[in-house]
Structure 1
Amino acid sequence: MKAVLCRQYGPPESLVVDQIDVPSAAPGNVVIDVKACGVNFPDTLIIEGKYQFKPPFPFSPGGEVAGVVRAVGEGITYLKPGDNVFALTGWGGFAESVLADGFKTFPMPAGMDYTTAASLMYTYGTSYHALKQRAQVRSGETVLVLGAAGGVGLAAVTLGKLMGARVIAAASTDEKLALCRQYGADEIINYTTQNLRDRLNELTGKRGVDVVYDPVGGDLAEPALRSMAWGGRYLVVGFAAGPIPSLPFNLPLLKGCSVVGVFWGAFAERQPKENAQNVRELLDFWQAGHLVPHIHATYPLEGAADALNEMLGRKVMGKVLIVP
């Protein structure tokens, strides 16, 4: 089978497409023929050795897939060859087939297409865990979403609205903000042309925001933290801007607010029952027509470097996918 391989750490251009053996189904595992694989920011980190997980070489990036079960290992009784599924793989998804853990593989609902199924887990899974478990968002609260037009950001905009929050979307271009409006943002801020803190003061009457959803980091972190309401929750989701910010710790003291880490992959691993419940609720949202992933572009395996560079260049609005 064909696979995009990382043989040594480096930029997207260092990846190669080569032939490797189709994986075998070990006990507790499922082999999936990949029809679509989501491209996510961690994929840009894992190929440079900057992510929490460091698979042995050679490996393929790609942590969420949708496809057809090719084979099941011993102990897997709830799936069979031919089933349509989506799965969390961590890595390995930029390939024609991938090995997945059975407990991280879910049947696709009737009527769901592969690109949608491969767009749900990282973006909506991360954002729902962040807003539900980590921030415990309540109806009527105000949620600021930074990087709001990206995959996890747009998911946070949608889910924040579904949970009854007033959502303020912040992004770097008017085009991105127009998309956020389409996905339910109540207010928008262009932080390239507007001062983030001044605009938040205007929109909240200087009260501040209850929740900050931050997948960006960098220079936006401190003004966002300074704009929090009393008892607020600052969600540390990622660092798409590159630099990891150093925040003054007197601010959480003065505002009585919390800085809360969001590591959805570890949550799914450590609390599989709670994660499975989240997935069921997300599928309910999808079946009710509330979740409609915005597909920015699809690429073949040979276009993996282009897809990852789009992500690194922060050009992606919504979701990018590899379609083998």
Structure 2
Amino acid sequence: MQAWQVHELGEPREVMRLADVGRPTPGEGQVLLRVRAANINFPDALMCRGQYQVRPPLPFTPGVEICGETEDGRRVIANPALPHGGFAEYALADAAALLPAPDALDDAEAAALHIGYQTAWFALHRRAHLEAGETLLVHAAAGGVGSAAVQLGKAAGATVIGVAGGADKAVVARELGCDVVIDRREQDVVAAVKETTGGRGADVIFDPVGGEAYTQSAKTVAFEGRIVIVGFASGTIPSPGLNHALIKNYAILGLHWGLYNTKNPKLVQHCHEQLTELAARGAIKPLVSERVPLAGAADAVQRVADGVTTGRVTVLPSLENGAAA
């Protein structure tokens, strides 16, 4: 089979190599899955660089989120068991963690439903307890996890303010359903949020960016508001001023979604059921901006790492010559 492998750490485009390798052999409790679609996540790029908290042994195949097919023909969503990741024709996964792929979504959409939407759902509902009628501010609203937060925020009955970088991404954020879109390259984010909310600020802020975005969050969070930290795509980890949180009476919440898989896996299953129901009634639908063949995976991972993509970019091993399968 063909699989992308990383033999040394560095930028994805430079260190990912497509090779002919044998199919991986399942270990105890694992299953072999034919990869129908593999979604690209920012952690894939971080693993190539050696900057992620999970560091699989070299050589490894990146790809942490797939829609796959079991040997008995079931279509499932899975997080591949590294080092045998999803940017390959076959991958391994833990049998107990397989989730049924929603019938309402195609393979690429199903592959994009898991990590980003689970992260957004846990952030908004489990950690921040978002309520209908509240104002939700989403940084990187046109990105993979940001687009999920926008859709889930609207489904929950919130007013959603999306922050995007550039005119093209602002258009995408608006099409996703944002009530207000702020182009951080052209507008003063803090001033725009305060103007939109009448000076009150946002009740819940979803921040996968860190850096300057967090500084803006602290300046625009409402009384008894909640800032949920889900990542640091900017590359800068902020140091919050706890005296500021005390004076303004807001909460800073962290979310490491992966912990729920070991600490409380029943909640992951519950979340998937909620997401499946929302997908069935059309309330959410992953934005798959690009579908690329397996041969294009390294370039696609690099573009996700560089922050030039919108929504999700998905690798389809069955694609030939870039045409839809």
Q: Work out whether the TM-score is over 0.5.
A: yes
Structure 2 residues not aligned, in runs of 5+: 318-325
2:321 equivalent in structure 1: none
Aligned residue among 175, 188, 196 for 2:168? 175
CA distance in 2, matches of 1:207, 1:113: 41
**C-alpha separation in 2, matches of 1:150 and 1:163:** 20
Q: Which residue of 2 aligns with 1:130?
A: 123
Question: What is the CA RMSD across the aligned residues, in angstroms?
Answer: 1.3
Q: How far is 1:219 from its partner?
A: 1.4
1:205, CA displacement in angstroms? 1.1
| 1:144-159 equivalent positions in 2, closer than 5 A | 144-159=137-152
- Equivalent-residue separation in structure 2 for 1:89 and 1:203 (angstroms): 42
Match of 1:68 in 2: 69
Separation in 1, partners of 2:189, 2:175? 21
Higher mean displacement: 215-224 or 109-118:
109-118
- 1:52-82 Cα shifts (integer Å, max 9, x gaps): 1111111111111112113xxxxxxxxxx21
Shift of 1:90: 5.8
Using structure 2 for the length normalisation, give the TM-score: 0.93
Task: Report the residue type matching 2:95 in the other structure.
Answer: G
Structure 1 counterpart of 2:89, from 73, 79, 96: 96
After superposition, residues 107-256 of structure 1 pair within 5 angstroms as 107-256=100-249
Match of 1:84 in 2: 75
* Pair 1:126–1:90, CA change in 2 (3 A): farther
Q: Return the TM-score normalized by structure 1.
A: 0.93
Deviation per residue, 1:272-317 (Å, 9 max, x gap): 1011000011000111111221111122222122111211221111
The whole-number CA distance in structure 1 between the counterparts of 2:239 and 2:103 is: 46
SS for the counterpart of 1:47 is: helix
- List per-residue Cα deviations over 1:217-248 (Å, max 9, x = no partner): 12121121121111111111111111112222
Determine the C-alpha separation between the residues in 1 that align with 2:290 and 2:86: 17
Q: Is the 8 A contact 1:15 1:305 kept in 2?
A: yes
Q: Report what 2:256 is aligned to.
A: 263
Q: Distance in 2 between matches of 1:246 and 1:224?
A: 13
Maintained 8 Å contact 2:104/2:279: no
1:269 Cα deviation (Å)? 2.8
* Alpha-carbon distance between aligned partners in 2 of 1:190 and 1:111, rounded to the nearest angstrom: 32
CA distance in 1, matches of 2:105, 2:154: 23
1:88 maps to a residue whose letter is N
Counterpart residue number, 2:322: none
Counterparts in 2 of 1:141 and 1:111: CA distance versus 1, 3 Å:
closer
Alignment gaps of 5+ in structure 1: 71-80
Distance 2:121 2:102 in 1: 19
Q: How does 1:284-299 map to 2 (within 5 A)?
A: 284-299=277-292
Q: Secondary structure at the match of 1:292?
A: coil
> Offset at 1:113?
1.7
Task: Report deviation, 1:111.
Answer: 5.0
Identity of aligned residues (%): 39
**Between Structure 1 and Structure 2, how many residues are aligned?**
314
Q: CA deviation at 1:163?
A: 0.8
Q: Are the aligned partners of 2:102 and 2:279 in contact in 1 as well (CA < 8 Å)?
A: no
Q: Tell me the distance in 2 between the aligned counterparts of 1:316 and 1:86.
A: 23
- Bigger mean CA offset, 121-130 vs 24-33: 24-33
Structure 2 distance, partners of 1:89, 1:211, is 32
Cα distance in structure 2, aligned partners of 1:90 and 1:157: 29
- Following superposition, the deviation at residue 44 of structure 1 comes to 0.9
The aligned residue for residue 76 of structure 1 is none
* Aligned-residue offset at 1:27: 2.9
Matched-pair contact (CA < 8 Å) for 1:62–1:90: no
SS in 2 for 1:139: coil
Deviates more, 1:37-46 or 1:251-260: 251-260
Q: Deviations over 1:66-107 (max 9, x none)?
A: 12113xxxxxxxxxx211111122641111111101122112
Residue 23 of structure 2 is matched in structure 1 by: 22
> Contact 2:81–2:94 at 8 Å: present in 1 too?
no
